[in-house]
Amino acid sequence: MSNEKVVKFAQELLMEEERSAISPGLISTKIDQVLMFKPAWKEGLDRDAAINELVRRFSIWVGADSTIQNDEGHKAWLNAGRKGDWRYWQRYREYLEGKMSVVAVEGLDRSTDTILGMLEDPARDGPWDRRGLVVGHVQSGKTGNYTGLVCKAADAGYKIIIVLAGLHNNLRSQTQMRLDEGFLGYETRPIADDIREIGVGLIDRDPSIRPNYVTNRTNNGDFSTARANTLGITPEQRPWLFVIKKNKTVLERLLGWIRHHVADGQDENGRRIVQRLPLLLIDDEADHASVDTGEQVFGEDGAPDEEHQPTAINGLTRKILHTFTRSAYVGYTATPFANIFIHERGQTKEEGPDLFPSAFIVNLAAPSSYVGPAQIFGLQSTSGRTAGLPLFRPVADHTGGDGKGGWMPHTHKNGYVPLTDRESGLPLTLEQAIDSFLIACAVRDLRGQGDAHSSMLVHVTRFTSVQKYVHEKVENYVSGLKQRLVRRIGHESSVARLEQLWLTDFVPTSVTAQSEFPVFADDASLPEWSEVLEMVTQIITDVDVRMINGTAKDALDYADQQGQGLKVIAIGGDKLSRGLTLEGLCTSYFLRTSKMYDTLMQMGRWFGYRPGYIDLCRLYTTDELADWFGHIADAAEELREEFDLMAAAGSTPRDYGLKVQSHPVLLVTSRLKMRSARSLMLSFSGQVSETVSLFSEKGVLQRNLDATASLVRQLGTGENDPIRQRGDSTQRWKGRLWNNVPAVQVIDFLNAYRTHPDAYKVNSVLLAEFITRMNIERELTNWTIAVVGSGRGKSFNLTEDLEIQMLTRAAEVSAGKYSIGRLLSPRDEAIDLTDEEWLAALDTTRKGWKPDPARSKSTEGPDEPSGPSIRKLRGEGISGQAGHPERGLLLLYVLDPAEAGGHIDPLLPPVVAFGISFPSSHSGTKVEYKVNNIAWTQEYGGAD
């Protein structure tokens, strides 16, 4: 504990110094000053660890949030004067400063001020209703953000605060604990007599401000009418907190109690309503179960779970809001895809309006210490993904070659017994993952992080019976290793294996992390192997292998563990899928379960903050899952770019919702969120469609090559090797470009070209139909077409008079499929812009750009226009440049299969890939995308 206290007080002393002057030497001086005041803190102080922690805290920077809002009917109210005596926030702020960088706390203060200010003043009379959405990066601290919002809302005068937290007891219980620490200040127990102060309650102990609670931290501590009836509601003085799980029965109980015990009036229809008390309702994981998609949640046995019908939860949440004449709703999510598909429905008498965030949407930026998808998987670019932290380890030994046999095939059923010919009963990669975890725990101890928790997550199946089997085998493996290492009998081969992993994996990874990602791995120095081995032998006796099956005990253990941190290997299933925090998550082992979306969200749990041990973390998963996560990360990034543009242009959430509702990139996610839908209505306006999943069959490739050659022959001479002025420089392309091509030629090409069925974003027949429909609106009638070559690839004669140098793209080739990373770049998308248009698009991009370390390491603005701004300029016009919604852009690329890498037939014809950049449009034209629902569910499973 002395380290935490010394760091906190030294941080306060350092706040008075210039940031640029803060060095390890100055930090050491401040630590000495603190110890002069409190000599007792020298006992047990790890000075090096304290200095490293303070260096890390003062090197953090926080990005800028981005906001879209609609102020219709809203009165601005929040100012500095109003915040003068805010005790809940003050003590939470002080509590946070003991745990994290002051810079990050200031960022949280700013963003919660913004969110609260867009809600209504709780003291404002008359009816009001504000609804917003806060989008954070995955595992970036959303709970901390809404705890801060709860504190400020209570200070401002919100009296009833309801937090909807997850579908399972363990997540609700964990959320209650976090709010006990950050808002209530004491442990919520079933018997209220025994007040045990924790968290903020140790900072400001005044019982007169202690908020009331109705729900408690135990597993069964959810809302119960019996307990609520004993309370006698008089929250005019102090606010009341309810932490509720998203369960139909519990929400019905809460709604009934509000109507019978809290309501103090009736509306014109005789409906009981609450007039005197303002409500704040926070919806954690707001894309989960709260969205009315007609989706049905299924249990582990495949039977529908009537309790969890999302439509019921959506309806009850709306009824609770509608019962209060003054209410505010704030949804929090990292995956806003489903929220954006909420329909704009007429208001119903019972439910009121749907949960669309009509007042505001806030995109939270992350601090520079955040490790997210971009930091692990890199960001997509034309030369493949940019390098991420070298922590991903591919798993391919869990199935037979066809995905059906092996230890854990994709489509196993309940009761399946995993088999392998290895002595441990585990595949080699899982043994390596466990060994990696043990080494990570040992090095963390040697780095002075022994008091911190360390966790490993194993998620390979959704069935409890199969989890039990895996749990038994993992426990046996750890126990056998423990016996060999501790007793030193037959331990030689185990030690040799661990040392080999250390030398071939940990040593080079830490070196790479430190040299290429110093912001995350600034202190990634490694101890000697002899020290590590000795420490592994000590800590292995503390490793607990546990099956997480949704009881509160699993959530409680971290909080109850004092002193030495827990070291847990958690064998998890669906109960772990959302939100339950595994503290100090070092190693993750994921296989695709039949619920693919669920698995992706679990993988997302792996992101977050790993101060002082990021180089020790490992993510073991399949190439397929890593690929899919990359797709969703790219889609989220594209959404954020679009959002930045709309924020700069003063758009409202409704504009954004309409924009995104038909976003083809999100097809996969939205399909999983709208399982009952048989078709989706799509618009490609303002989007880019590119083929990244292509055929590798000779016949289809020849057909696509012929279709391309046929189009080029019709186009005539064109412009060879186009050159364009771009501000102070010029850009050159190899290839040929044609202007003013009639749409019919593009439509004919698309109908002749065959896109791969796995290319969800690009269906040539659908694109042809969309262009035909847009022609009726007199849009997309006039096309620019370019065949883009490389400057150094092999030459190929596409037609008699067009020789093109083929592009080289690294590709993964599997049965019938040739997959590349990104095809287009914004540079290519701007090929048809004049210099003035290009500069206008760049200006718009810069105005919308916000620094956010989770998206880019740069604190400088972009030097090229983004894809969304190019498409906006072309369609609507910006900065004095006229729009040309009639102007589409088709880009054709010829890829050299011989340069794809991997095993590929050298006699294959060149692979033609295309990209289409569609101008944005106000026409609202859409085309129907029909989905074979059964086939989809068989392939990807459903979503929770």
pLDDT level of residue 336 (50, 70, 90 thresholds): low
- Report the pLDDT averaged over residues 861-874: 87
Alpha-carbon distance of 141 to 143, in angstroms, equals 5
Quick one: pLDDT at residue 881?
A: 83
Angle at CA of residue 740, ends 734 and 746, nearest 5°: 80
Q: Which amino acid is at 701?
A: L
Q: Which CATH class is domain 63-362?
A: alpha beta
Quick one: pLDDT at residue 33?
A: 93
- Report the pLDDT averaged over residues 174-196: 88
Which comes out higher in pLDDT, residue 941 or 84? 84
Residue indicated by tokens 């090409």 = 749
Positive or negative, the Cα torsion across 347, 350, 355, 360? positive
> Does the pLDDT of residue 302 top 70, yes or no?
no
End-to-end CA distance of the chain: 40
Task: Look at residues 888, 896, 889 and name the one whose alpha carbon lies nearest to residue 705.
Answer: 896
Alpha-carbon distance of 385 to 891, in angstroms, equals 21
Task: Look at residues 209, 202, 99 and name the one whose alpha carbon lies nearest to residue 151.
Answer: 209
Q: What is the pLDDT of residues 884-894, one digit of tens each?
A: 999 999 999 99
Residue 463 CB neighbour total at 10 angstroms: 19
Mean pLDDT, rounded, of the chain: 82
Q: Is there a contact between 579 and 169 (Cβ–Cβ < 8 Å)? A: no
| Conformation bin of residue 59: beta by default, left when phi > 0, alpha when psi is -120 to 50 | alpha
> Does the pLDDT of residue 675 top 50, yes or no?
no
Structure letter (DSSP) for residue 503: I
Q: Mapping DSSP to helix (H, G, I), strand (E, B) and coil, where does residue 661 land?
A: coil
Alpha-carbon distance of 783 to 311, in angstroms, equals 44
Q: What is the pLDDT of residues 367-419, one digit of tens each?
A: 878 888 777 877 655 445 567 788 989 898 887 655 567 898 877 888 899 98
Quick one: pLDDT at residue 834?
A: 93
> Does the pLDDT of residue 555 top 70, yes or no?
no
> Does the pLDDT of residue 556 top 50, yes or no?
no
Quick one: pLDDT at residue 43?
A: 86
- Report the pLDDT averaged over residues 158-178: 89
Sorted by sequence, the CB contacts under 8 Å of residue 662 that are 6+ apart come out as 680, 681, 682, 683, 926
Task: Look at residues 336, 323, 205, 190 and name the one whose alpha carbon lies nearest to residue 255.
Answer: 323
Quick one: pLDDT at residue 610?
A: 85
Q: What is the pLDDT of residues 312-321, one digit of tens each?
A: 888 899 999 9
Q: Is there a contact between 775 and 781 (Cβ–Cβ < 8 Å)? A: yes
Positive or negative, the Cα torsion across 469, 471, 475, 477? positive
Quick one: pLDDT at residue 254?
A: 95
Alpha-carbon distance of 721 to 175, in angstroms, equals 60
Quick one: pLDDT at residue 661?
A: 45
Quick one: pLDDT at residue 594?
A: 54
Residue 768 CB neighbour total at 10 angstroms: 20
Alpha-carbon distance of 570 to 220, in angstroms, equals 22
Residue indicated by tokens 């993904």 = 385
Q: What is the pLDDT of residues 457-470, one digit of tens each?
A: 998 888 888 989 99
Q: What is the pTM of this model?
A: 0.77
| Radius of gyration of the chain from its Cα atoms, rounded to whole angstroms | 29
Which comes out higher in pLDDT, residue 808 or 717? 717
Distance of CA 570 to the CA centre of its chain: 22
Assign 3-state DSSP to the chain and report helix, strand, coil percentages, each to 5: 40, 15, 40
Quick one: pLDDT at residue 559?
A: 52
> Does the pLDDT of residue 933 top 50, yes or no?
no
Q: What is the pLDDT of residues 78-136, one digit of tens each?
A: 998 999 889 999 999 999 988 888 888 999 999 999 999 999 999 999 999 999 999 88
Quick one: pLDDT at residue 307?
A: 45
> Does the pLDDT of residue 455 top 60, yes or no?
yes
Quick one: pLDDT at residue 552?
A: 39
Q: Is there a contact between 634 and 760 (Cβ–Cβ < 8 Å)? A: no
Q: Mapping DSSP to helix (H, G, I), strand (E, B) and coil, where does residue 266 land?
A: strand
- Report the pLDDT averaged over residues 254-279: 92
Domain extents in the chain? 63-362, 390-629, 684-846+862-925
Sorted by sequence, the CB contacts under 8 Å of residue 508 that are 6+ apart come out as none
Quick one: pLDDT at residue 669?
A: 46
pLDDT level of residue 658 (50, 70, 90 thresholds): low
According to DSSP H, which parts of 447-571 are helical?
Answer: 464-487, 492-501, 507-516, 529-539, 552-560
Q: Is there a contact between 124 and 77 (Cβ–Cβ < 8 Å)? A: yes
> Does the pLDDT of residue 576 top 70, yes or no?
no
> Does the pLDDT of residue 348 top 50, yes or no?
yes
Sorted by sequence, the CB contacts under 8 Å of residue 496 that are 6+ apart come out as none
**Which residues, in sequence order, are bridge partners of residue 547?**
571
What phi and psi values does residue 693 have, to the nearest 5 degrees? -110, 115
> Does the pLDDT of residue 938 top 50, yes or no?
no
Quick one: pLDDT at residue 232?
A: 57
> Does the pLDDT of residue 706 top 70, yes or no?
yes
Angle of helix 464-487 relative to helix 428-446, nearest 10 degrees, comes to: 60
pLDDT level of residue 298 (50, 70, 90 thresholds): very low
pLDDT level of residue 557 (50, 70, 90 thresholds): low
Task: Look at residues 875, 865, 878 and name the one whose alpha carbon lies nearest to residue 917.
Answer: 875
Sorted by sequence, the CB contacts under 8 Å of residue 179 that are 6+ apart come out as 147, 150, 163, 241, 243
Instruction: State both tokens at 51.
Output: 């200095």
Quick one: pLDDT at residue 239?
A: 93
Strand ranges (E), 782-922:
782-789, 795-799, 802-805, 812-814, 817-819, 887-895, 911-917
- Report the pLDDT averaged over residues 583-606: 71
> Does the pLDDT of residue 604 top 70, yes or no?
no
Q: Which range is least confidently modeled, 74-88, 283-297, 472-486, 642-656?
A: 283-297
> Does the pLDDT of residue 581 top 70, yes or no?
no
The CB-side HSE value for 877 (13 A sphere, CA atoms) comes to 7
Q: Which range is least confidently modeled, 536-540, 738-742, 763-767?
A: 763-767
Alpha-carbon distance of 791 to 780, in angstroms, equals 31
Burial grade of 584 (CB within 10 A; 0-12, 13-18, 19 or more):
buried
Q: What is the dihedral of CA 868, 870, 876, 879, to 10 degrees?
A: 110
For the chain, what percent of residues have pLDDT higher than 70? 81
Quick one: pLDDT at residue 310?
A: 46
Quick one: pLDDT at residue 169?
A: 82
Own/partner long-range contacts of 899-907 (Cβ < 8 Å, ≥24 apart): 899/793, 899/794, 899/806, 899/808, 899/809, 900/808, 900/809, 900/810, 900/811, 900/813, 900/818, 901/810, 901/811, 902/811, 902/812, 902/813, 903/813, 904/696, 904/811, 904/813, 904/818, 905/696, 905/698, 907/698
- Report the pLDDT averaged over residues 199-218: 91
Alpha-carbon distance of 205 to 943, in angstroms, equals 44
Quick one: pLDDT at residue 677?
A: 47
Which comes out higher in pLDDT, residue 49 or 96? 96
